[in-house]
Amino acid sequence: MGPVNQVFPQDVFSDKVREHARDLASSVSSCSLRVIKRQVYGAMFQTLAEAFETSEREMLASLQSEDFKEGVAHFLEKRAPAFSGR
């Protein structure tokens, strides 16, 4: 989870960004993306302790979601996910 995971030449950079965005849209729960975005934006205005508390609370709530259960099931069953957004 470093600040840079991959480096691409300028001529393919935009294509790689779009490819990653399509992958996120098709394989990650919309609930998870919403939580991640909220935490990233919120953390800019929080102390490290506050950000940690928020992440812990969000993680515990996420573990109870239908999408978490579907995420585990699709991984174990080696199939495409069918997230409900709940």
Domain that holds residue 60: 26-77
For tokens 């997230």, what's the residue?
83
For tokens 């030449």, what's the residue?
9
**Alpha-carbon dihedral sign for residues 76, 66, 63, 59:** positive
- pLDDT tens digit sequence for 14-38: 999 999 989 888 888 989 999 999 9
Q: How many domains does the chain fold into? A: 1
Helices 48-63, 30-43: inter-axial angle, 10-degree rounding: 170
For tokens 């998870």, what's the residue?
32
Q: Which two tokens stand for residue 21?
A: 């965005």
- pLDDT tens digit sequence for 43-59: 999 999 999 999 999 99
**Alpha-carbon dihedral sign for residues 80, 5, 32, 57:** positive
**Alpha-carbon dihedral sign for residues 18, 22, 25, 28:** negative
Q: Which two tokens stand for residue 23?
A: 């992958």
Confidence at residue 18, expressed as pLDDT on a 0 to 100 scale: 93
Q: Is residue 19 part of a domain?
A: no
Q: Is residue 43 part of a domain?
A: yes
Q: Is residue 85 part of a domain?
A: no
Whether the pTM exceeds 0.75: the reply is no
Q: Is residue 69 part of a domain?
A: yes
